[in-house]
Chains A and B, each alone.
Chain A
Amino acid sequence: MDIRKLLQSGAVYTPWPVVIDGVICNGQKMAFSTICLKKCGSSPACVHQESKELENVCAYGLSFFRLSLGARAVTIFGVRGPANVVTHAGSLKQELKGRTVTPEEVRNWRDQFTSLLDSIEQEFLQRQSEMLDPLHDPLRLANQILTIANRFVQKEFGDTPVDFDNASPDVKSLVKAAELLSDSFDLLTIFFNPAAATFGRKSYMPLHGLLHKLVRILRIQDASDAEPVRVFLDGESHRSILVHESFKLIPLALISNAIKYSLFGSVRVRITERASSAEVSVESFGPPIDPDEIELIFQKRKRGRWAEDLTTSGTGVGLYLSRIVAEAHGLQIKVTSFRQADRVVNGIPIALNRFSFDIPVSY
C-alpha cells in the first residue's frame, strides 16, 4: 500500500499538515502554517532535523511530530505541542493559536491509520490467496510428474548418472521437462511468497552433487532445432552445505540466466573450494552489464540495457528470485562483467559475465 498516495488522496482523515517522502499533504483541520511557508517554503527543514520520537520543536519555534506508518517516516509539522512553551507575545504566539496538538491525539491518529493499513494488507493477502488457489493442484501434479519420471528412469536405466546418460533423448527430455516444471513452480512459489525461501529446516546437501545434477539437466538438448548452449561444471568439492530446500534455485536461476543470454561459447559453472567455504561461479559470454546496472538486474522485472535489445524472451524475475533466496541464506551474489575487445554479435558487444557467491561448507 502506497501510504503517500493514500494521504494525498484525502480519503484518510489527516487533521494536520504532514510530510512523507518530501511531499507535503495539507491538513483537513489545520492548514499549512504561514511561518513554515515563509521560513522553509515547500521543503520543511524539520524533516531533516535530528529528532526524538513524537514531539520536537524546530529552529523557528514550531512543534513537529515524527512517527512511523508502516515502514515509512511521517512528519506532522507546523503545530504546537505541550513541550513548546512560548511565553513572549508576538507573531509566533499569534500563529500558534489554534494549532495545539497533543501527543495522545497523534498516537490515536497513528494507531487508527496503522489499523486501517493492516486491514487493507489482510484484505489484499486474502484476495491474493484466493486468486492463487487454482495453483494448488498444478503444483502438486508437477511434483508428481517429476517423481514418476525419476522413478521410471531408475527402474528402466538405473540410479547412477552414467545410467541416466544412456537413456534415450526422449526420456532425458522428459526428465528435464519434469525437473524444470517443478523448479519453475518452486520459483513461482518464492515469487508470490518470498517467505517460502526459509520454510522447513536446513539440511546438508553435497554441493558438487547438487550442481552436477543441475548442469546435467540444463545441458540436455531441447526438441527445438536451436543450437544448444553447452554447460560445463569445473572443480571438485567433497564437502556439504547446510541449506534450505530453496537453495538450489540460486544456481538454477544463475545458470538458466547465463544460458538464456549466452551469445558466444559455453557456460561454465565452477566450484572453488577454500578453507571453510566454497565459491560457486557461473561464467558466460553475453551482453555487457554496466556497473550502474548491477543493482538494477536483481530488481523485479528489470533487465540490463543490452539484454533488452536481445530478442530473447525474459521476464526479469530469475535474478530477482535468486537474490531473495540468497538473502534468505545470508549469501551475497557478486557480479562482474568484462567487455571483450572487438567482439560483437548481432551488433551487441560481448562481455565475460560472472555471477558468483561464497557459501560455508563442512565435511
Chain B
Amino acid sequence: MEWAWLSGVFTDLKTWFNGAGWLSNAITIGAPLLALGALGRRLYRKIFGLSTFSELIKIRLVSTWTPTRLKALAEIAIVDDNPADFPVAELRKAGYHIKTYKHVSLTELDELAAYDVVFLDIHGIVKDDVEQGGLKVLAKLRAVNPRQKICAVSSKQFDPTASTFFRQADDVRRKPMTAQQCQDIIDVLANEKLDPEPLANALDQATASLYNHTRRELVKQIAAFTQAHGAEEEFTPSADLAVTLGHNFDLMIKDMVRLLRHGHS
C-alpha cells in the first residue's frame, strides 16, 4: 500500500511518454545520458589525467590561440656579414623578436640552435671558412636542432659548390630582402614549427608507443609544470623517457612547454 504512490508515478510517466512524440522521448532520455557521460569523462580526467597532448592544448590553448601570437613567441636570428641587407628595424617595429649575428663560431652554435627561425648566409659568416662557412653552420644546426627552420639567404645560387647549402635549407631567398618578404617567410616557417595542433599531433604520435599510464603521467607533468614554474625553468623529461623517445621528442616538448606558457597570454 505504501508503494502505491510509486506505481502511480510510473503510470504517469508511462502515460506522458506515450503521449509525447519519439523525438521528445529521445531528447528526454538522451540529454541526461550525455550529460552524465560528459561528467564522467571530466571526473575520469580529473582522477587519471589527460591522455594526449591534443586534449591538453584543446583545454589550455586552442580557444585563445591566434596565429598572431607567433610573432611574440618566435625567436628569429639573422646570420649575415652584411645585416643591412635585412630590414631589421622594420621587423622589430612590427613586433618580431630579431637578433643579428655578423659572425659565428663553429664551436659555439648552441645559442644559435635555440632560435626558431634562422636566416643564414653562406659567405663571410665564419672567420675560419669565409667561402663556405654557412654550409658547415647549417649542417651543425641541423644536427643540434632538426626542428629549427632555416632560410638560406645568399646571392651565390650560381655557385655549383654551394648547391648542398641551398638544398638543405627549408627555404631559399636572395638578398637584399624587403620587410614583406621577411615577414612572409617568418610567418610560414614559425607556423610550421610552432602551430599547436600539428605539434600536439606529432607529440601524440611520438608517444603512441608508451604505456597509457606513462603518457598520461607525462601530459599531467607538463600541464602542472607550465602552470607552476617560471619562464626560465626548462622541463626535463625523465632519463628513461628521453632515451626512449629521442632528441627530437625533447625538442618538441620544449616547444610545447613554450606554447603552453606564452601562447595564450
- Residues in A lying within 8 Å of B, measured CB to CB: 125-126, 128-129, 132-133, 135-137, 139-140, 143-144, 147, 188-189, 192-193, 195-196, 199-201, 245
B167 CB contact (under 8 Å) in A139, A143, A199 = A199
Contact status B160-A140, CB under 8 Å: no
B157 CB contact (under 8 Å) in A133, A144, A189 = A189
| B124-143 interface (Cβ within 8 A of A) | 131
Q: How far is the CB of A195 from chain B (nearest CB, A)?
A: 5
Contact status A193-B176, CB under 8 Å: no
Contact status A199-B156, CB under 8 Å: no
B174 an interface residue at 8 Å Cβ cutoff?
A: yes
Once the chains are docked, how many angstroms separate the CA of A133 from the CA of B155? 10
Chosen A-B contacts, 6 in total, with CB atoms closer than 8 Å, are: A129-B131, A135-B155, A136-B156, A188-B158, A195-B167, A201-B171
B172 CB contact (under 8 Å) in A128, A129, A188, A199 = A199
Once the chains are docked, how many angstroms separate the CA of A206 from the CA of B166? 25
Contact status B157-A199, CB under 8 Å: yes
Contact status A143-B174, CB under 8 Å: yes
Once the chains are docked, how many angstroms separate the CA of A137 from the CA of B82? 12
Query: Which residue on B lies nearest to A193, using beta carbons?
Result: B160
Knowing A136-B123, A147-B178, the reply to whether A196 touches B173 (Cβ < 8 A) is: no
> Which residues of the partner chain A approach B157 to less than 8 Å between Cβ atoms?
189, 193, 196, 199
Contact status A200-B173, CB under 8 Å: yes
> Which residues of the partner chain A approach B175 to less than 8 Å between Cβ atoms?
140, 143
Query: Which residue on B lies nearest to A244, using beta carbons?
Result: B172
- Residues in B lying within 8 Å of A, measured CB to CB: 85, 123, 131, 152, 155-163, 166-167, 169-176, 178
- Count, A-B residue pairs, CB within 8 A: 69
Once the chains are docked, how many angstroms separate the CA of A71 from the CA of B216? 56
Contact status A192-B158, CB under 8 Å: yes
Q: How far is the CB of B103 from chain A (nearest CB, A)?
A: 18
Q: How far is the CB of A118 from chain B (nearest CB, A)?
A: 14
Once the chains are docked, how many angstroms separate the CA of A137 from the CA of B124? 13
Once the chains are docked, how many angstroms separate the CA of A70 from the CA of B162? 22
A144 CB contact (under 8 Å) in B152, B161, B162, B176 = B176
> Which residues of the partner chain B approach A188 to less than 8 Å between Cβ atoms?
158
Query: Which residue on B lies nearest to A189, using beta carbons?
Result: B158
Query: Which residue on B lies nearest to A137, using beta carbons?
Result: B155
Q: How far is the CB of A173 from chain B (nearest CB, A)?
A: 22
Q: How far is the CB of B129 from chain A (nearest CB, A)?
A: 14
Knowing A132-B158, A136-B123, A136-B155, the reply to whether A193 touches B173 (Cβ < 8 A) is: no
Once the chains are docked, how many angstroms separate the CA of A128 from the CA of B167? 19
Once the chains are docked, how many angstroms separate the CA of A147 from the CA of B157? 19
B159 CB contact (under 8 Å) in A140, A147, A193 = A193
Contact status B160-A128, CB under 8 Å: yes
Query: Which residue on B lies nearest to A140, using beta carbons?
Result: B155
Once the chains are docked, how many angstroms separate the CA of A267 from the CA of B152? 38
Knowing A139-B155, A140-B155, the reply to whether A201 touches B161 (Cβ < 8 A) is: no
Q: Which 10 pairs, one residue from A and one from B, show the smallest C-beta to C-beta distance?
A: A200-B172, A139-B155, A189-B158, A199-B172, A192-B158, A196-B157, A199-B166, A129-B161, A140-B155, A193-B160
Contact status A201-B170, CB under 8 Å: yes
> Which residues of the partner chain B approach A193 to less than 8 Å between Cβ atoms?
157-160, 163
Once the chains are docked, how many angstroms separate the CA of A139 from the CA of B123? 14
